[in-house]
Copies of this chain bind each other. A is one copy, B any other.
Amino acid sequence: MKRSSRLSVALHVLLHMAEQPDKALTSDVLAGWAATNPVVIRRTFAGLRDAGIVGSTKGHGGGWTLLKPLDAVSLADIQAALDDPVLALGKAEESPGCLVEQAVNAALDDAVAEARRLLDQRLSKITLADLAARIGPRRVVLQAAGCKDPHHES
């Protein structure tokens, strides 16, 4: 496994969900789209549920549903809901005693914080609807081309 890919996975799955609005979809189905495990989906989506972006129901016919219109959810909303460590610069020590290292950490923290603000600002201006629009024109192709459940492929 590489870097955290939760945001990428979440977006991918949410957009697929949007193609079947108001239909409860199981973790198994969502996991198929993302080529991952149902438990990973449940973990990832737990944050989205807490943020009110999706809802989940148990039992027969249960599953996940989108609760908000696509244009009401920005990528920043999702990012925040996932509590995903977006971008970071490693430090040698978190709480160093050395004054030199404290100064280094402070300078780097400042710079990273600013970059992070810019990224957040950028993500807050992109909604799920925007992404869907980019794909929309080829919706038909999309359905044919892809992202079927690789788990259960034979």
Where the two chains meet, the residues of A that have a C-beta atom closer than 8 Å to any C-beta of B are 1-9, 11-12, 15-16, 33-36, 75, 86-93, 97-101, 103-108, 110-112, 114-116, 118-119, 122-123, 126, 130-131, 134-135, 138, 141-142, 145-147
**Whole-angstrom CA separation of A148 from B4 in the bound complex:** 36
The answer on a CB contact under 8 Å between B12 and A104 is: yes
Contact (Cβ within 8 A) A5 B91: yes
CA distance A126 to B111 in the complex (A): 10
Copies in the complex: 2
Q: Is the CB of B131 within 8 A of A89?
A: no
Tell me, rounded to whole Å, the shortest Cβ–Cβ distance linking A134 to chain B.
5
Point out the residues of chain B lying under 8 angstroms from A115, CB to CB: 87, 115-116, 118-119, 122
